[in-house]
Chains A and B, each alone.
Chain A
């Protein structure tokens, strides 16, 4: 777009041409044009107020390869700056108070206007988790999952909350303006109403119904898409996001890579990176990365989620008919809800657990990740801790999420820690194991079930659950030790021991936390909190720098945690391990890892067993059943996942064998 001081007044000749082409101006002296402006591509236009127009020489390319000439046709334009080779055509009411970037296309739009003092969705307060208020998050363009998480979840630190509010408000104020922006090459087509909306470069808005008070962050490398019949108010939609299919949004943040559509409706909700929401409804949710809900009749309400999958008909209640809709749920990362599962808030569910049935009692299973949580006939939660640790689903999820990161071509606002096994989950397993051991030791054999924070555990399964967790704990610790040792294997036992040393700058905490999808030692969270409270981190950019720093330290923090935990768990200092002890550690690793992978294989095999073949061979004979199954589902041995796991088992064996051979020869 040419600078405004390079524009000049229309010549009398140009005004005559424009008038002959059906154009009218409130005051022609307020209509300025760029050098090289030719009036032929401006027809049937009413100009109100100050107008700046660029050059129209080229064409706009639309979907399907169609090209249309740039220019202004059949429109009322008020107080706008129109860039080079913009196409504006068939505007029903007017376009007012917009700066429109070059090569943008605005066609068949009803009303597009910015009101004085517009904030474009910034500053909107979104009431997450508590529908009645108390955990509001202030929207601003660069909002990250981590920022939002700390703002909403740490209300027990009022000073922190105040500071974060100040930062958010400051960011929001930067955007306040009497004029809206349409970025270069954005396309806004067949949309009824756009009021107080900033639109980024190369965004595509097509057949939307109403967009009011919002921002669509978009760039040429990371365009955002708003599709048919979408209605959104008080919103920010980020790069690479797509909102379509008559989705209805009010007071929402849709972060990078999200997919919202198929009549999904959401209010007072935040959806962070790579969430998917179709067909259902959300109210007052904090959807951390990879929260997915695809089905009709699914309501997500008043809850914190991440890496979550909602089965069809999933439902929760946050309203107990006392003091309003004030109850909250917290589902830690990786949790899934089975079809038609129901939960009554408040509840908290441990990571990577599966919720089945209708839960009408309050419970907290956060110390027991990978658990089976099934509602009994009376609505009580029956828990089997650790049951889902060694399952095909867990491994597939671990591989799936990083490969489905749709955030391309833009600075990633959210930090995402993808690892299934980490100090966060393994730390919880260690704690869970310890609780189970104590329960087992202190529960009489005559007792069938024990209640732990509202969930029932069968006494007889306490030992089994400890076994489940031990597999995960030992596999994780030994894997990390082996990986570290392998790097120095050629240099002798002394060097190997040295390689186990703490990395400079590493921070240790026994407990790790999950901050909106980013894992870190609790100590780092406390340091960050202090820095915010004392003003050292005073804006969004500084916050982003800090969480990036924490993320870069993840590997060394993790290693320090492994080292300290190894000492506590096995009673040995890694830096003093002998060759023989390392050899044994490698052997143990192989045993646990192989056991884990074989359990995963056994789990995958259930999808090929007799029960899974029920209903196959329709209209055929008994022999046709197996053939029908084979044709549709394939064979277990040929299944790609199965082959990968088997290859993995071989690779582990080979790796450990090589390690043990080498370690036996080193000095």
Chain B
């Protein structure tokens, strides 16, 4: 599974939405209904999934699925490009 698929799978499970309804431009709060606690949990799940360390405050500025994916890719790249 590529990064995008893995992100969408986690988001679907965490926010209890249909994976097919998650688009690149979907906003976590407005479209997918994430509250602030769920946002923190999503970051933690992404950290665990990709074995990376994410700065919560920087991550919370990624408002859409697409920007979150880009953010995660950048973190992976900065940490040596390795992921599970």
In the assembled complex, A495 has its CB within 8 A of some CB on chain B:
no
B37 pairs with A463, CB closer than 8 A? no
With A467-B56, A595-B57, A606-B36 already in contact, the answer to whether A461 and B29 are too (CB < 8 A) is no
Q: Could you tell me if A598 and B37 are in contact, using CB atoms closer than 8 angstroms?
A: no
The reply to whether A460 and B37 form a contact with Cβ atoms under 8 Å apart is no
Residues of A close to B29: CB separation below 8 A: 610-611
A32 contacts the other chain (CB 8 A): no
Q: Mark A445-487 against chain B: 1 for CB-CB distance below 8 A, else 0.
A: 1000000000000101101100100000000000000000000
Q: How far is the CB of A472 from chain B (nearest CB, A)?
A: 14
Minimal beta-carbon separation of A533 from chain B (angstroms): 47
Instruction: Return chain A residues, CB-CB under 8 Å to B56.
Output: 464, 467, 599
Q: Is residue A372 contacting chain B, with contact meaning CB distance below 8 A? A: yes
Q: Decide if B40 touches A387 in the complex (CB within 8 Å).
A: yes
Is A598 touching B57 in the complex (CB atoms < 8 A)? yes
With a CB–CB cut-off of 8 A, which chain B residues contact A384?
37, 40
Q: Is B21 part of the contact surface with A, judged by Cβ < 8 Å? A: no
Q: Mark B45-76, 1 if CB is under 8 A from A, else 0.
A: 10110000001110010000000000000000
Chain B residues closer than 8 Å to A501, beta-carbon distance = none
Please determine whether A460 and B45 come into contact, CB atoms closer than 8 angstroms: yes
Q: Which of A458, A467, A611 is within 8 Å of B41, CB to CB?
A: A458
Q: Is the CB of B30 within 8 A of A610?
A: yes
Instruction: For B30, list chain A residues within 8 Å (CB).
Output: 610
Asked if B17 CB lies within 8 Å of chain A CBs, one says no
Residues in A neighbouring B55, C-beta threshold 8 A: 595
Shortest B7–chain A CB gap in Å is: 15
Task: Report the minimal beta-carbon distance from B83 to chain A, rounded to whole angstroms.
Answer: 16
A602 at the interface (CB under 8 A from B): yes
Question: B43 in the interface, Cβ–Cβ < 8 Å?
Answer: yes
Interface centre among B44, B45, B60 (most CB of A within 10 A): B44
User: Per a CB cutoff under 8 Å, which of B36, B40, B57, B60 touches A461?
Assistant: B40
Which one of B30, B40, B47 has the highest number of Cβ atoms from chain A below 10 Å of its Cβ? B40
Q: How many A-B residue pairs have CB under 8 A?
A: 36
Give Cα distance in the complex from A458 to B37, angstroms: 12
B43 lies within 8 A of A464 (CB)? yes
Interface size class of A (residues with CB under 8 A): 10 to 19
Contact B43 A599 (CB under 8 A): no
Docked Cα-Cα span, A141 to B30, in Å, equals 58
Interface residues in B, total, Cβ within 8 A: 15
Q: A384-B37, A606-B36, A610-B30 are in contact. Are A463 and B57 (CB under 8 A)?
A: no
Whether the Cβ atoms of A463 and B36 lie closer than 8 Å is no
Q: How far is the CB of B15 from chain A (nearest CB, A)?
A: 14
A633 to B44, CA, bound (A): 33
Within the complex, which residue of B36, B44, B57 is in contact with A460, where a contact is CB–CB below 8 Å? B44
A463-B56 Cα distance, complex, nearest whole Å: 12
Q: How far is the CA of A126 from the CA of B11 in the complex (A)?
A: 54
Bound together, the chains give a CA A387 to CA B43 distance in angstroms of 13
Whether B41 lies near A461 (C-beta < 8 A) is yes
Closest to B27 in A: A610
Complex: A581 Cα to B27 Cα, angstroms: 44
Neighbouring A residues of B36 by C-beta, 8 Å: 606
Residues of A within 8 A of B37 (CB): 372, 374, 384, 387
Docked pose: A372 CA to B41 CA in angstroms: 13
Q: Which of A463, A464, A598, A606: most chain B CB closer than 10 A?
A: A464
Residues of the B chain whose Cβ atoms lie less than 8 Å from the Cβ of A460: 41, 44-45, 48
Q: State the Cβ distance, B56 to closest chain A Cβ, in Å.
A: 7
In the bound complex, CA of A611 to CA of B60 (Å): 15
How far does the Cβ of B12 sit from chain A's closest Cβ, in whole Å? 16
- Nearest CB to that of A445 among chain B residues? B48
**Distance of A387 Cα from B44 Cα, bound (Å):** 13
Bound form: Cα–Cα A464–B47 in Å: 9
Min CB gap A637→B, angstroms = 17
Complex contacts, B47 vs chain A, CB 8 Å: 463-464
> A167 CA to B47 CA in the complex, in Å?
58
Query: What are the residues of chain A within 8 A of B43 when measuring CB–CB?
Result: 464
Q: Inside 8 A of A461's CB, which chain B residues have their CB? A: 40-41, 44
Cα separation A610 to B56 with both chains bound (whole Å): 20
For A467, the chain B residues whose CB sits under 8 A away are 56
> Cβ of B57: which chain A residues have Cβ within 8 Å of it?
595, 598-599, 602
Alpha-carbon gap, A595 to B41, bound state (A): 19
How far apart are the CA atoms of A599 and B56 in the complex, in Å?
Answer: 9
Give the residues from 581 to 613 in chain A that come closer than 8 angstroms, CB to CB, to chain B.
595, 598-599, 602, 606, 610-611
Mind listing 22 A-B residue pairs with CB under 8 Å? A372-B37, A374-B37, A384-B37, A387-B37, A445-B48, A458-B41, A458-B44, A461-B40, A461-B41, A461-B44, A463-B44, A463-B47, A464-B43, A464-B44, A464-B56, A598-B57, A599-B56, A602-B60, A606-B36, A610-B29, A610-B30, A611-B29
A: residues with CB less than 8 A from B are 372, 374, 384, 387, 445, 458, 460-461, 463-464, 467, 595, 598-599, 602, 606, 610-611
Given contacts A460-B48, A461-B44, 10 further A-B contacts (CB under 8 A): A387-B40, A445-B48, A460-B41, A460-B44, A461-B40, A463-B44, A463-B48, A606-B36, A610-B29, A611-B29
Across the A-B interface, the 7 shortest Cβ-Cβ residue pairs: A460-B44, A464-B44, A599-B57, A461-B44, A602-B57, A460-B45, A598-B57
